A and B are shown apart, each in its own frame.
Chain A
Amino acid sequence: MAHTERQNAGPDPRPATRVRPMFHRVLHADPQEVRRALTDLRARFAPAITADTLGRLELVLAEVMNNVAEHSATQGVGSGAMHLCIVMQDGGLSCAITDDGGKLPADCLKPRNLPAIDPLDLPEGGFGWFLIQGLTQSLCYYREDHRNCLAFTVPYQQLS
């Protein structure tokens, strides 16, 4: 295909040379490897997005991957590995996390409130999915045979 044809290939032609950071990792579902992946991911995206966006991205991915490490990968099924992929697109940072552990309970995806805050008996957990739902857009889940597939978008502010 000639260069001019590619340029005119759609209603919104874009230069074919645009480079944006992506991140892909296959990791063992344990907290140390999650920490390592997040540290590397931070270095990858730091030049492209604001510190605020980076903090939100890192928090939501930590919550999702720690859930996989804590619940899905500990049920004695699957390889104990998970796949992480992040792509920076015009509409946001598109993230996908898949693993072959136990099925995600349907409850996790239902709209969440904060756990009841009783000052005399504060909740020590139950914040994870609330944070995930609050920090993401287009959160969706698909169970493909023996795999959990979770995808969502994190809106971003680009560094100028």
Chain B
Amino acid sequence: MPKLIINETEAQMVVIVDEARIDAAIATRFKDRLREIVLRGRKPVQLDMRRVDFMDSSGLGAMIAVRKALPEALPLVLDGLTPNVERVFRLTRMDGVFDIRPVATQQE
């Protein structure tokens, strides 16, 4: 089961993704679990991505599916994107669709 640590307050839900890789080996379970969490919360979601060191297009697909599952008005912020993860969003132009916050130390 993908490791997701949930810290919920009245105003929002912070979900720490405690996985080093969001890849094809885990993407479907990650999508199902995260979708279940955000749909249950029904409040703005901040996804802490600092621990994710690698993501491929199946991981991106999972993120998109979760975004689509949320009502459009509910924010989903992807915080602390590492360079490898940020690259996938940037190359696929999904950086314009998601509210992403890369980590401060950029390598590119």
Contacts and interface: CB of A to CB of B under 8 A. Distances in A.
B12 interface: no
The interface residues of chain A, by DSSP majority, are classed as helix
Interface in B70-98: 83-84, 87-88, 91-94, 97
Interface in A60-119: 62-63, 66, 69-70, 114, 117, 119
A117 B97 contact: yes
A69 B24 CA distance: 10
A124 interface: yes
How many chain B residues sit at the interface, stated as a range, is 20 to 34
Nearest to A50: B107
Given A51-B107, A59-B88, A124 B23 contact: no
Contact of B67 (A31, A122, A135): A122
Contacts of A130: 91-92
A122 B64 contact: yes
A124 to B, nearest CB: 4
Contact of A55 (B21, B24, B83, B93): B83
Interface in B38-92: 54, 56-58, 60-61, 64-65, 67-68, 83-84, 87-88, 91-92
Contacts, number: 73
A70 B23 CA distance: 13
A130 B91 CA distance: 9
Nearest to B58: A66
Contacts of B107: 50-52
B93 A117 contact: yes
Nearest to B96: A117
Nearest to B61: A124
A38 to B, nearest CB: 8
5 smallest CB-CB distances across A and B, nearest first, come from A31-B25, A127-B57, A31-B24, A55-B84, A62-B56
